[in-house]
Amino acid sequence: MGCVDGWRPQDEAESAAGWRLWLALTSRLWPPAEWDGTPAAALGGLREVLAECDGIRGACAGDQAAAVLRLVDSVVFVVSLPLDLWRDDVLPVDADRAALLHSDLAGVVEHAADVRAVLARGGGWAELEAR
């Protein structure tokens, strides 16, 4: 995570933005149980994460220097890659394509875990991350 390893919210608004991002990254990354087998449907949670990132960016509009925005930008970048690749793919996956999709989602999950850890340490809720 480099330059944001030491993220600390500068005020209550940035702390709230960090909390929102942490929550968004805790549960929406893998397809839900009712997944229909298509890559496009598997990405629903990633679209929700992007929407939350847009909301966080809007909430921080008055403070473009907020360090949490670097974290948001990193999430948007990483989430956008599989979205761009798979968003229009509505054919159910076979074993080979499932492995590729899983690899792409695993990369997002790994990045999200890193961002969550940074947020938890800086925001003072690290004990929640250990669960």
pLDDT tens per residue across span 104-117: 999 999 999 999 99
Cα–Cα distance list, 117 to 12, 21, 39, 101, 109 (Å): 19, 11, 28, 24, 12
Distance CA 107, CA 49 (A): 15
Q: 75 pLDDT exceeds 90?
A: yes
Distance CA 59, CA 123 (A): 17
Q: In the chain, where are the structural domains located?
A: 10-129
Tens of pLDDT along 87-105?
999 999 999 999 999 999 9
Kindly report the average pLDDT of the chain as a whole number. 90
Calculate the CA 46 to chain-centre distance: 7
HSE of 25 in the Cβ direction (CA atoms, 13 Å)?
30
Q: 3 pLDDT exceeds 70?
A: no
